[in-house]
Structure 1
Amino acid sequence: MLSCDLSFKGAETNDYCAFVLLGLIPETTPIYPAQAAKAQGMQLHKTAASAGPASGLVPASASPSGCCPTGTHRIEVLSSVHYHLDLPGVLKHLTQTLQLLSEQGLSPDAVLIEDAANGPAVCQLLRRQIPGLIAIRPVGSKSSRAHAAAPLMEAGQLAFNPGNEELINELLGFPNAANDDLVDAFCQGVIWLQNKYWRANSRGTPLPLLFSR
């Protein structure tokens, strides 16, 4: 699934257009988030220090893909980029991205954009040009959407491929970082996946492990 946070003013001083590609990846190995956090030098909250085995937050490359006997999945961030683009530039980027994914044998189930931010005319134009496009009406503020996605990260049910450092830095700096476009696209995609697939597969509300530095 490709989640987009769009701004159609191409000047360098304007907001970025952000594109985050996410997927549900089968897990085949048990991962222990408390042990992984300690190995990274983090100090764990006392409620997390004694926590038992659970799906852990590790780089995507550390866990092999494949069919999991228990059917458990994690949400994985495959790529994330942002650029200053006007509307023709957005159409070109989306078309090229979908073509490249198709050549790799991949076809996103959906391309998400924010309904309220782009207006009906832009949404209709994009729908005609981009297959699988869905306009999402956001609920709540940016901060509330970030809070809605946070338990998945805290519970170690999200993984990041290499190359997503800018997104990770935005997440660590939110809401005080200079940019939050990647965070917006990320949260939009995570919430959509959680609502459409995670809960549909009887996955309960993620139980977070609390970390402090």
Structure 2
Amino acid sequence: MTRADVHTPRAWQAQSLLLAYPDEQFHRHWLPLARRAAATLPQRVAAPLLVFADHVGTRAPQDLAADYVATFDQRRRCCPYLTYYAHGDTRRRGPALLRLKQTYVAAGWRLVGDELPDHLAVVLEFAAAAGTHEGRRLLGEHRAGIELLRLALHGAGSPWHHVLDSLHATLPALSGDEHTAVARLAAEGPPEEQVGTAAPSAPPPSP
């Protein structure tokens, strides 16, 4: 195991905290904790997290919360739910969510609250607990969606792109097939077959 691999689960945990909804607990607990964790990481992983932490630390909580909603809830390409990129709102998304939940249960890890198992913050929290090898395998299954989210956040000028840049620095370089998948997603978007009424967690149309 390389020195970088030793630090990777800590990086994923910090990224998970910074991708949480910025409520009072975020400002009081998660942001300081993530900042302390980032200070122990390799520079290329830590620097984007510290830039993000410095930025959000200057924002009024209500303004940051409004930005979060506008970014992640109102832009399809900035959807934090990873199975959406592969399956959209088609019938295949339900089984994908179930498989992800079963992966968590098999590892003795259960979700608390009503968050879906494919939210990137949840996936990163599990990856941090599972360790570098299993975490990279799971994140690799959603690599095209993660990369499209990173590029979309850059395109939107969102400060959360720093968190995705940090995540990008912990993952292997994109393969040729993954580059192709990202380009196809960017051009065509996720599948569009609708399954009745959209679930509350599904992102609404872009404004």
Would you call these one fold, judging by a TM-score over 0.5?
no
Higher Cα radius of gyration: 1
Report the TM-score, using the length of structure 1 for normalisation: 0.28
